[in-house]
A and B are shown apart, each in its own frame.
Chain A
């Protein structure tokens, strides 16, 4: 029975925690990912994910909470990049790539030298959503609420800055402050997403659902809503497939999201082949 198929995994508390965790992460990633996709911040987000990993290694060394370490180094990278972009006014892809891969490599060495942790390295790199504990779930809920409030409160101003940064600055909108806030929100989304899918795949949750949504709408709120639905769908389907075929859940979620994107590409291509609308352009 389908209901049995659906209910069976929920008997296990680790699956329930994993589903709640990935659902919240998928929603958070979709909202923030919309800005990442629209403003082409994927590379910077990847850098944040890699330095956040080093932050975890340092936190482990100092006996801190892993999330705290990841968040601090992630935010440091995000704010540093915003500042560099503004003051140096140069394309710093190369410098950033050298810096974040270097920091990432250092993080791997640090982790490997810690005998108690070396075995869990792959869980950080590839995600370990099935081992989410209640305490980690609290972190995810706090991140979800915190970023949700920040985004709701600053939404109109963030959109102004993203659409027309020069006009916004000329009108006295605190552009640097808002750009920094966006980078902090990206850092938070990245750090909590690492729990679900790991450092290597974190970009997929952030970008793929938002990019798929962008194929279908020209309205930012609809894009966020669609990205959130797609992210949720990918998370649940991915978790269930992973449960029944004993596949790694993080990777399965990412594969489902990628298939969604591929399907989205095909559908949007077919829609473009339809006869022209002579009544005027669609507003969505």
Chain B
């Protein structure tokens, strides 16, 4: 089968603590896939394992039918907000142009064709008017669009985003979901971690619920029900006892 992601019995440990265990997941190409789960449940670690950026203690990860390391030039990763230096003096256009660097050696400079590709990509996400603006001056939704343009300039087949909707207002979240649908139509596979369960239920083809292990996996309308979501997020529900003592269920 033509898979974008194929994970089998994955185990990842940080300093002897297992943060992901026995995770298996398959994502077909051209799919919009969401990953949900409580904070600390291993969502970001799972994404990094798809990118070959964390050591795996057990199991296998295949991305676009090859090892995650070899697949890197065809995979775009949009980091969490705090991982990017927003004060860095760089324009939106130059951020998008970075997508082209992936296909160049470190001593090669972007060509005219690379510049054109960057401009076209910026136009595709409706941000061409912002080309010469500093990235740090944009709103959260606009920043996400510029990063998606970078992924398009990279000609990435798989686009992975860590919490792209966090901090966006409702309108910007819906615009982002529309953009995901557009990417999917153009044949991209999109994998997103999110806290927005409604967004997953409305617009995603498949969902993975992670809390150290796979708690749910499948088509959102079939697998997302109250019982399983309670189990997934259980440890985040506070329990207030009759004595007034508050504990967090774990």
Contact present for A163 and B90 (CB under 8 Å): yes
**What is the distance, in angstroms, from A41's C-beta to the closest C-beta of chain B?**
13
Asked whether any CB of chain A lies closer than 8 Å to the CB of B194, the reply is: no
Interface of A is mostly: helix
Asked whether any CB of chain A lies closer than 8 Å to the CB of B95, the reply is: yes
Interface residue ranges of A89-131 to B (CB < 8 Å)? none
Interface residue ranges of B94-133 to A (CB < 8 Å)? 94-95, 97-99, 101-102, 106-107, 109-110, 132-133
Please report the C-alpha to C-alpha distance between residue A217 and residue B132 in the assembled complex, in whole angstroms.
Answer: 13
- List residues of chain B with CB within 8 A of the CB of A233: none
Asked whether any CB of chain B lies closer than 8 Å to the CB of A281, the reply is: yes
Contact present for A171 and B76 (CB under 8 Å): yes
Interface residue ranges of A142-188 to B (CB < 8 Å)? 153-154, 156-157, 159-160, 162-174, 177-178
Please report the C-alpha to C-alpha distance between residue A162 and residue B91 in the assembled complex, in whole angstroms.
Answer: 14
Question: With A170-B72, A171-B76, A283-B133 in contact, is A164–B106 under 8 Å at CB?
Answer: no
Question: Which of A162, A165, A173, A177 makes the CB contact (< 8 A) with B101?
Answer: A173
What mask results when residues 82 to 94 of chain B are scored 1 for a CB within 8 Å of chain A, else 0?
0111011111001
Contact present for A171 and B107 (CB under 8 Å): no
Asked whether any CB of chain A lies closer than 8 Å to the CB of B75, the reply is: yes
- List residues of chain B with CB within 8 A of the CB of A165: 83
Greatest chain B CB density within 10 A among A170, A214, A283 is at A170
Interface of B is mostly: mixed
Interface residue ranges of A56-85 to B (CB < 8 Å)? none
Please report the C-alpha to C-alpha distance between residue A48 and residue B110 in the assembled complex, in whole angstroms.
Answer: 33
Contact present for B84 and A164 (CB under 8 Å): yes
Contact present for A220 and B79 (CB under 8 Å): no
Asked whether any CB of chain A lies closer than 8 Å to the CB of B134, the reply is: yes
- List residues of chain A with CB within 8 A of the CB of B87: 38
- The total of interchain contacts (Cβ-Cβ below 8 angstroms) comes to 100
Give the A interface residue count (CB, 8 A). Answer: 31
Asked whether any CB of chain A lies closer than 8 Å to the CB of B239, the reply is: no
What mask results when residues 17 to 32 of chain B are scored 1 for a CB within 8 Å of chain A, else 0?
0000000000000000
Contact present for A154 and B84 (CB under 8 Å): no
Asked whether any CB of chain A lies closer than 8 Å to the CB of B203, the reply is: no
**What is the distance, in angstroms, from B180's C-beta to the closest C-beta of chain A?**
18
Question: With A156-B98, A164-B84 in contact, is A281–B76 under 8 Å at CB?
Answer: no
User: Nearest CB to that of A38 among chain B residues?
Assistant: B88
Asked whether any CB of chain B lies closer than 8 Å to the CB of A133, the reply is: no
- List residues of chain A with CB within 8 A of the CB of B219: none
Contact present for B136 and A218 (CB under 8 Å): yes
- List residues of chain B with CB within 8 A of the CB of A214: 89
Interface residue ranges of B146-192 to A (CB < 8 Å)? 147, 150, 154, 160
**What is the distance, in angstroms, from B36's C-beta to the closest C-beta of chain A?**
21
Query: A170-B160, A281-B137 are known contacts; what are 7 more A-B pairs with Cβ within 8 Å?
Result: A153-B106, A159-B98, A160-B101, A164-B98, A167-B76, A167-B79, A171-B72
Question: B residues touching A (Cβ–Cβ < 8 Å)?
Answer: 51, 53, 69, 72-73, 75-79, 83-85, 87-91, 94-95, 97-99, 101-102, 106-107, 109-110, 132-134, 136-137, 147, 150, 154, 160
11 inter-chain pairs at a CB distance below 8 angstroms, sorted by A residue, are A38-B85, A156-B97, A163-B84, A163-B95, A167-B76, A170-B53, A170-B79, A171-B72, A171-B99, A220-B88, A281-B134
Question: A residues touching B (Cβ–Cβ < 8 Å)?
Answer: 38-39, 153-154, 156-157, 159-160, 162-174, 177-178, 214, 217-220, 223, 281, 283
